[in-house]
Amino acid sequence: MADEKRVIIVGGGLAGLMGAITACENGLSVDLVSYVPVRRSHSVCAQGGINGAVNTMGEGDSPDFHFDDTIYGGDFLANQAMVRDMCYDAPKVIYLMDRMGVTFNRTAEGLLDFRRFGGTLFNRTAFAGATTGQQLIYALDEGVRSWEAQGKVRKFEHHSFQSIIKDGNNNCRGVVLTDQYTMESFALKANAVAMCTGGIGSIFGKTTNSVICTGSAASRLYQQGVWYANGEFLQIHPTAIPGTDKNRLISESVRGEGGRVWVPKKAGDPRPGRDIPVNERWYFLEEKYPAYGNLVPRDVAARELFDTCVNQGLGVGGRWEVYLDVSHIPHATLHAKLAGVLEIYEKFMGEDPYTNPMRVFPAMHYTMGGIYIGYGTETSRKGDLPGHWDHYQHMSNVNGLFAGGEADYQYHGANRLGANSLLSCLWAGRVLGPQMAKYLEANSSLGDCSDSEASSHVQEQETAYGAVRKMTGSENAFRLQEELNEYMTKYCTVVRVNADLQKLDAKLDELLDRWEAVGLHDSSTSSNQELIYIRELRDRLLLSKVICRGALERNESRGAHYKPEFPTRNDADWLKTTIASFDGTRNPQFSYENVDISLIPPRERSYKAASHGGQESK
C-alpha cells in the first residue's frame, strides 16, 4: 500500500521549495525532484527584489495599487482574481521570508528597506543587496532541510524529469525520472504532483536564464496532453550584458536606485562613455516617459532600446548597446545596494561600473506563458470566472497535476513587472501545499498506481533512450541548438513580423527533420549528458512551435508581444488566453479562452503619465 499522503514536487526553486514546506505543514510527505542540488536552482539569479505593498515608506501604497500596477503592466491579459489574492498576500510573504532569516536590507530604524522597480511609482520592492533570489532560496533550502531532518522530505537531486504517469482517466499518478549519474530511469508514485520547473530560456540560447532552464519538462507535459498557455508571451529584459555563453542580467534595481539609460547624441561617437558630457547624452527613456522615466515596464524599455539601436542607429559606437549609468551615484550607496550585480559586470566585462557607464542590450529573460492551471473556487470572486474545471488552484487540465512558479502561466499576463516573479513563485508555493492536500483527501479512493502502469511509463522512456543511443547521423545536437537559438532570438523576441515568423516556422520544421540525423558521440552509461541533451533538444523544438505559431496567430500588439503590422491592442478579438494542445503532430492545436476582467476594466496602456486605474494616485 502506497503512502497516500505523499506528493511529488518537481523543481527546487522558490515555488518548489515553498510548496514542499507548505505540503509538509499540511501533513504531507514530499519527494522533491531537481535537476541540480536545489540550492543551485535558477531562482538564485533573481537580483533586484520582491514586491509587496508593505508601505513602510509612508507613500500611501496599498495591495490594491500593487494589484492595479500588475494588471496594467500585464496589459490586461492576466486573470484578475488570483492576481489580487497574490498582491494581498505579498506583505505576508515578505514578512515570512524575513522571519526565515533572509538578510534583507534595513532602514535606520531596523525595518525592511524598499526600493522602486519598473511599472510603479511606489517604493514597493524589498531586497537583499542585489542577490535577493539567492538569499530567498537559501532561506527556503534551509527551511526544507529542517523538514528533511524530520524525515518528511526525500530529495532526488541530479535527477531529470521524464514524464508524468497518467492513467486512462486523465489522472496523474506519479512521475518517471532519470538519474543523471547512473542514467537509470525509474518511477515515483504519488497522486498529486506539482511541476515547478521554471522557464524555458534554453530555447533562445543566450538568455539571462541558467542552462538548467531547458524547457524540456514543459514540453514533455505538453506532449502528454497538458495544455500550455500563452506560449507567445516572453519577457525580453532591457538590460543584459551580451556574453559568449549567456547574456548576464543587469537588474532593473540598478535603475530603481537611480541608474540612467542613455546613448550619445552623435551616432557612433568614439569617446568612452564617461568622457561624453551630459549635454551630449540622450536620456531617451526619461525624455519620452516623463512620469516613469527609466522605470517604464520591461516590454516598453526593451522596445525603446531596440528601436534606438536597430532602427535609429544610435547605439554606443554604432553597436547594439546602450549605456546604463550609475557613475553619478555615491560609491557607498552602490556598494550597499547593488554590489552583487555590479560585481557581475566587473567580473565579466573587465570594466569598473562604479566609474564607467555599463554597456547593455535586451535579452530573453522570463517566460510569462506556461502550464495552464485553474483558479480554484477559493479565489475572491468565484462564479464569474472563465474556465470550466476550476476545482483546485494551480491544477492543470490533468487531475492531480499541479504547476507553480515560472512554469505556470498565471499572474503576469502579457508582461511581468520587475520583482513580481519572486512573489508569484512564493505565492504559488503557498497555494500548492494546501491545494494538493485537499485534492488528495477528496480523491483518496484513487489508491496506489499499479506497478504495471508505472513500469510501462518507465519502459517508454527506456525505449526513447534506446533509440537515441542508436543515432549515428552526422548532425551535432549542440550545433543544431545554436541554429534554433539564433532563429528564435532573431524572429521571435522584441519585434515580430508575420513573414519572419513563417520563416522561423519553416526553420523549426527543418531542424526537426535534421534532428533525426543527429549522431550521439557518447556511449557511456555514466553521467551521459549528451544522451539527455539530444532528447531535450527535440522537446525544445516542439515547444518552439507553440511559441512561434502562437505568435503568428495573435495579430495584435499586447505587452511583450509586439507586431509592427498590428501595432495596437485588440481587445475585441484578442483579450484571450492562448491554449496550445498537442495532437501528436509537430504543429500545436490552438483554442482560446476569455480572460477574467471582473475586477479592473481594461483601459489603454501608456506610461507617458501616471496611471492608477482611476483610483486616487499619490
Q: Kindly tell me which residue out of 7, 9, 77, 112 binds other proteins, with binding defined by CB under 8 A.
A: 112
**Residue 390 to residue 405: CA distance in whole angstroms:** 19
Listed ranges 138-146, 310-318, 451-459, 486-494: which one lies at the site for other proteins (CB under 8 A): 138-146
Q: Does 98 bind other proteins (CB under 8 A)?
A: yes
Please list every residue from 54 through 73 that binds other proteins, using CB under 8 A. none
Q: Which of 1, 151, 168, 245 binds other proteins (CB under 8 A)?
A: 245
Q: Name the residue nearer to other proteins (CB basis): 91 or 258.
A: 91
Separation between Cα atoms, residue 557 and residue 484, nearest integer Å: 24
CA atoms of 130 and 254, how far apart (whole Å) = 9
Would you call 145 a catalytic residue per the annotation?
Answer: no
**Site track 464-503 with other proteins (rule: CB under 8 A), x = hit:** ------------x-xx--x---------------------
Distance (Å, whole) CA 175 – CA 67: 36
Q: Does 104 bind other proteins (CB under 8 A)?
A: yes
Sign of CA dihedral 508, 475, 36, 50: negative
User: What minimum distance in Å lies between the beta carbon of 331 and other proteins?
Assistant: 14
- For other proteins, the binding residues in 382-441 under the rule CB under 8 A are 430
Catalytic residue among 116, 124, 298, 605: 298
Helix or strand holding residue 154 (H, E): strand 153-157
Radius of gyration for the chain, computed over Cα atoms and rounded to the nearest angstrom: 23
User: Contacting other proteins (CB under 8 A), which of 4, 59, 148, 553?
Assistant: 148
List phi, psi (to 5°) of 592: -130, 145
Q: Helix 216-223 crosses helix 529-553 at what angle (to 10 degrees)?
A: 70
Among 42, 159, 416, 558, binds other proteins (CB under 8 A): 42
Residue 347 is a binding residue for other proteins (CB under 8 A): yes
Nearer to other proteins by Cβ, of 38 and 419: the residue is 38
Which amino acid, residue 64? D
Cell of 427: 505565492
Q: Does 108 bind other proteins (CB under 8 A)?
A: yes
CB 169 within 8 A of CB 445: no
Give the range of 40-48, 278-286, 308-316, 379-387 binding other proteins by CB under 8 A: 40-48
Q: Please, is 573 exposed, middle or buried when counting C-beta atoms within 10 Å of its C-beta (0-12, 13-18, 19+)?
A: exposed
Q: Give the shortest CB-579-to-other proteins separation in angstroms.
A: 31
Smallest separation (angstroms) from other proteins to the CB of 142: 4
Reduced 3-state DSSP string for 50-81:
EECCCCCCCCCCCHHHHHHHHHHHCCCCCCHH
Interface with other proteins by CB under 8 A: which range of 99-107, 116-124, 318-326, 440-448?
Answer: 99-107
Nearer to other proteins, 106 or 618 (CB): 106
Q: Tell me the C-alpha distance between 368 and 236, whole Å.
A: 11
Q: Which is nearer to other proteins, 109 or 583 (CB)?
A: 109
Q: Which is nearer to other proteins, 22 or 578 (CB)?
A: 22
Residues that contact other proteins, how many (by CB under 8 A): 72
CB-side exposure of 122: number of CA atoms within 13 Å? 29
Instruction: Check residue 138 for interaction with other proteins (CB under 8 A).
Output: yes
Stretch of 34-42, 227-235, 410-418, 492-500 lying at the interface with other proteins (CB under 8 A): 34-42
How buried is 260 (Cβ within 10 angstroms: 0-12 exposed, 13-18 middle, 19+ buried)? Answer: buried
Where in 212-241 is the site for other proteins (CB under 8 A)?
212
The yes or no reply on residue 145 touching other proteins (CB under 8 A) is yes
Cα(570)–Cα(444) distance, integer angstroms: 45
Q: How many helices (H) and strands (E) does the chain have?
A: 15, 21
Q: Which residues are catalytic?
A: 298
